[in-house]
Amino acid sequence: MDHLGRVRRLQEQLSRHRLDSLLVTHLPNVRYLCGFTGSAGCLIVSERRAVFFTDGRYTSQAREEVSGAWVVIGRKVPLLSAAEWLVKHRGTSRAKKPQVLGVEGEVLTVAARKRLLEALPTEFRLRAAPQLVEQARMLKDAEEIQRIRAAVTLSASLFPTALRSMRPGVTENEVAATMEYTARKAGASGMSFPTIIASGTRSALAHGRASEQPIPGEGFVVCDFGVILAGYCSDMTRTVYVGHATEDARAMYEAVREAQQAAVEAVRPGVTAGEVDRAARKPLKKRSLAKFFTHSTGHGVGLEIHEAPRVATGQPEVLRPGMVITIEPGLYIAGKWGVRIEDMVLVTEHGCDVLTPTSKQFTAI
Amino acid sequence: MDHLGRVRRLQEQLSRHRLDSLLVTHLPNVRYLCGFTGSAGCLIVSERRAVFFTDGRYTSQAREEVSGAWVVIGRKVPLLSAAEWLVKHRGTSRAKKPQVLGVEGEVLTVAARKRLLEALPTEFRLRAAPQLVEQARMLKDAEEIQRIRAAVTLSASLFPTALRSMRPGVTENEVAATMEYTARKAGASGMSFPTIIASGTRSALAHGRASEQPIPGEGFVVCDFGVILAGYCSDMTRTVYVGHATEDARAMYEAVREAQQAAVEAVRPGVTAGEVDRAARKPLKKRSLAKFFTHSTGHGVGLEIHEAPRVATGQPEVLRPGMVITIEPGLYIAGKWGVRIEDMVLVTEHGCDVLTPTSKQFTAI
């Protein structure tokens, strides 16, 4: 990964935002900028330097993984090692001017901010910085896209596994366990979120993670799952019908499929995320079903399962080539059933590539 | 679970800490106080009320799970629904006095604090509150101990599974995958942390999560793992030797076993966590091995895999009956090998119960 390039592009933005340096504490951002995958570390990026801080438990891991930044193995927690370093390395020429240190307000806790302030002399000012790293992360480079494709391909291969194990009486957890085992054996470090296998009336729960409920003889089963492979996440949903589907069930499924297709067709550079969301809702409105689509249309995916941009009502973010987002409309009738269909798509120069290769045909088993 | 009792005991402490109300945003604390297991919600506890806030996605889940608190399904994110409620329900009698709202400083982000301040009129003061809920959670009640015992028993049953699959050439990930599959089939909702299977020189990494490395023909394999069962975590470590162990390897193992045993024997009410940590280090010091024990001796376990108290150098927390902690000393020789042995123990009236039933005899396979 091009850590050095990423750090340089970030450094070029600091003065525009009137930051002397940026303290990166969000671990996916740290990983993005310097490669560290452990769970204790932070990074200081100033115009001329990038320094990574961790503690003694991660000495060999840091030396192995980190590039594009100096490594400091501190005796204190990384945040305080970083503060110590800042004090030692404040520029002498501007020592009397306030030093503005950007922090990640959406991640840094109130308590960590307090500890940081206590460790820094008064010439340092903390400022909640704009989400510069999150913005950079939206645009995936070739190596990232390759990893995301591999993660998508692996998760798609789990769906036939799910179908083979799915029959009335088998618990949702058993189906999930079989998928997760297959993923792990294929090299995934884990699932990207708790696997959702939501059957019967539970299919109406948009967040119905697999439970001990046996799959009933009749009804939809929403399968929403993803893996983490080489650090990158995937996310997909397919909904199947167990039993003999009524016309009603088929109509419901087709409405979601139409909405999903409409949103996919709306994805291209220059369009806003909000417009994609609206494209998903439009066909549902026509059928007076829009009120049963109770969540947003999608989200970015990469090092994190949920990252920028949000694909939701009114979101002004303009799509650009290299963005990877989910398109996942659903309909949920409480106490009855639910359907969701989700693909991951890559924004290209002229439109988008649907990364998820799995059929969206109505399937009854 | 006795949510009502927990809320009442918290309410009784508010005035002592000069808080008009406490905003609970840490999800394990929310779950502890009112039972909600979803991923978007917060709780306001004042002297006379407890109100839980979530959004429309969790309507049925909240009604099913929450007890001991009123449920508000808001149209905004839970934090802002809570702010809105606070404004509407500020006591009229003391309307002109500042209202002190305690927040969880170790959890609330700088950005969330800002949004909260913007949503509240100036008569509200935010104050980082002491960790009242974390302190209550340290002392497990009978129902919690029962759940923890069940989680410990399930994780212990995974160790023979690991041993059966462990042989030279099999990857660490394959061993982990088999254990995780068995756990899931047995009803675990997941592992309590990424499974560590660290073989060969990787055993010297205290945080060596399972990798694609095949298990070598000779050396230690550190197996550190736990499950989440009915919301409660378990955590255990056993280290086995693959191949024909040298005297050197046996001596290393026995040193850790002695340290672990010494620490377990030190656990009883009235002793500080720091004294337990010292007990683990004492036999290692005698053998001049203490510098290779590079982490703390243990931590509390419950709804979270790491919770209070910390069992580390100088920690003043006094052990009390009902606390559940890990005892997990280890020795790590970089580039060569490592050994760690970990049990979960319950502090009782007169000493402690070792919950983990698995043998600690030196095992070569």
pLDDT grade for B93, boundaries at 50, 70 and 90: low
How close A205 gets to chain B, by Cα (Å)?
8
Answer whether residue B161 shows pLDDT above 60: yes
| Average pLDDT of span B266-295 | 97
Interface residue A173 vs chain B (CB under 8 A): yes
How close A73 gets to chain B, by Cα (Å)?
14
Tokens of B104: 């969880």
pTM for the structure as a whole: 0.92
Contact A45, A22 (CB under 8 A): yes
**pLDDT (tens digit, 9 = 90+) per residue, A186-201?**
999 999 999 999 999 9
> CB–CB of A105 and B103 under 8 A?
no
Answer whether residue B106 shows pLDDT above 70: yes
Q: What is the ipTM of this complex?
A: 0.88
Q: Which residue, among A25, A27, A76, A109, would best test binding to B if mutated, counting the most B CBs under 10 Å from its CB?
A: A109
How close A328 gets to chain B, by Cα (Å)?
15
Interface residue A142 vs chain B (CB under 8 A): no
What lies within 8 Å, CB to CB, of A270 at 6+ separation is: A318, A319
> Tokens 């913007």 appear where?
B118
Determine whether A286 is exposed, middle or buried from the number of CB atoms within 10 Å of its CB (0-12, 13-18, 19+).
exposed
Answer whether residue B92 shows pLDDT above 70: no
* Residue A309: cis peptide before it, omega within 30 degrees of 0: yes
Whole-number Å distance between alpha carbons of B25 and A4: 37
The enclosing H or E element of B249 equals: helix B247-266
Q: Where are the beta strands (DSSP E) in A33-164?
A: 42-46, 50-55, 70-74, 99-103, 124-128
A352, A209, A178: which is closest to A268 by C-alpha? A352
pLDDT grade for B56, boundaries at 50, 70 and 90: confident
Supply the pLDDT for residue B60: 85
**In degrees to the nearest 10, what's the CA dihedral of B172, B175, B180, B183?**
-150
Whole-number Å distance between alpha carbons of B109 and A167: 44
A335, A163, A331: which is closest to A253 by C-alpha? A331
DSSP code for B98 = P
**B294 backbone dihedrals φ, ψ, rounded to 5°:** -100, 5
A77, A28, A43, A33: which is closest to A57 by C-alpha? A77
Interface residue A214 vs chain B (CB under 8 A): no
SS3 category, A162: helix
**pLDDT (tens digit, 9 = 90+) per residue, A13-41?**
999 999 999 999 999 999 999 999 999 99
Supply the pLDDT for residue A208: 86
Q: Which residues of A touch B38 (CB under 8 A)?
A: 207
**pLDDT (tens digit, 9 = 90+) per residue, B327-352?**
999 999 989 999 999 999 999 999 99
Tokens of B179: 């254990």
Mean pLDDT, chain A, rounded, equals 95
Whole-number Å distance between alpha carbons of B363 and B137: 36
Answer whether residue A96 shows pLDDT above 80: no
On the CB side of A185, CA atoms within 13 Å amount to 13
Tokens of A183: 């993923």
Supply the pLDDT for residue A56: 85
Concatenating the DSSP letter of every residue in A259-297 gives HHHHHHHH--TT-BHHHHHHHHHHHHHHTT-GGG--S-S
SS3 category, A241: strand
Contact A329, A340 (CB under 8 A): yes
Interface residue A207 vs chain B (CB under 8 A): yes
Tokens of B286: 């005698």
**pLDDT (tens digit, 9 = 90+) per residue, A178-189?**
999 999 999 999
Supply the pLDDT for residue A313: 96
Contact B213, B202 (CB under 8 A): yes
| Average pLDDT of span B177-192 | 94
Tokens of A270: 């220059």
**pLDDT (tens digit, 9 = 90+) per residue, A116-164?**
999 999 999 999 999 999 999 999 999 999 999 999 999 999 999 999 9
pLDDT grade for A11, boundaries at 50, 70 and 90: very high
**In degrees to the nearest 10, what's the CA dihedral of A74, A79, A85, A88?**
-120
How close A349 gets to chain B, by Cα (Å)?
35
> In Å, how far are B191, B213, B232, B281 from B172, measured between CA atoms?
16, 6, 26, 30
> CB–CB of A106 and B111 under 8 A?
yes
Contact A162, A183 (CB under 8 A): no
Interface residue A194 vs chain B (CB under 8 A): yes
How close A225 gets to chain B, by Cα (Å)?
14
Per-residue burial over B180-215, b = 16 or more CB atoms within 10 Å of its CB, e = otherwise: bbbbbebebbbbbbebbbbbbbbbbbbbbbbbebbb
Whole-number Å distance between alpha carbons of A101 and A104: 10
Determine whether A312 is exposed, middle or buried from the number of CB atoms within 10 Å of its CB (0-12, 13-18, 19+).
middle
Q: Which residues of B touch A115 (CB under 8 A)?
A: none
Q: Which residues of A touch B106 (CB under 8 A)?
A: 109-111
| Average pLDDT of span A251-270 | 98
Q: Which residues of A touch B109 (CB under 8 A)?
A: 105-110
Answer whether residue A45 shows pLDDT above 80: yes
Q: Which residues of A touch B108 (CB under 8 A)?
A: 109-110
| Average pLDDT of span A34-50 | 96
